[in-house]
Structures are given as C-alpha cells and as structure tokens.
C-alpha cells in the first residue's frame, strides 16, 4: 500500500522537471495522495 502511494507521488512530481517555487513542490506532494486515494475502492456497507 505504501509503495503504491509512493509510486503515485513520484508519478505526479516526475512530470515536472523544475518547480517555480517551494510552495508548488509542497502543494503537488500534498495533492498527489489525495488524487490517488480517490481511485481506491470504497468499503462496502451492509
């Protein structure tokens, strides 16, 4: 599970070879797991 999340973060940050500011690096590494978890299967309720 952790390896998959790391792969998704690398996928989103690898597309950008350089970031204009430090804030964009932080924002992209923050948003990458949020995008990845949206695609995870939802738990089945009763």
pLDDT tens, residue by residue, 1-46:
678 778 877 877 777 677 788 888 888 778 777 776 776 676 666 6
Q: Model-level pTM greater than 0.75? A: no
Do 34 and 5 contact (CB within 8 A), yes or no?
Answer: no
Residue from 3, 8, 1 nearest 30 by CA: 8
Report H helices in the chain. Answer: 2-14, 22-38
Write down the pLDDT at residue 44.
65
Distance CA 32, CA 36 (A): 6
Write down the pLDDT at residue 10.
80
C-alpha count within 13 angstroms, C-beta hemisphere, residue 39? 7
- DSSP code for 15: S
Write down the pLDDT at residue 16.
67
């Amino acid at each position: 599970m952790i390896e998959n999340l790391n792969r998704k973060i690398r996928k989103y940050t690898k597309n950008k070879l350089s970031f204009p500011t430090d804030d964009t690096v932080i924002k992209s590494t923050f948003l990458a797991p949020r995008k990845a978890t949206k695609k995870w299967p939802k738990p089945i309720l009763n």
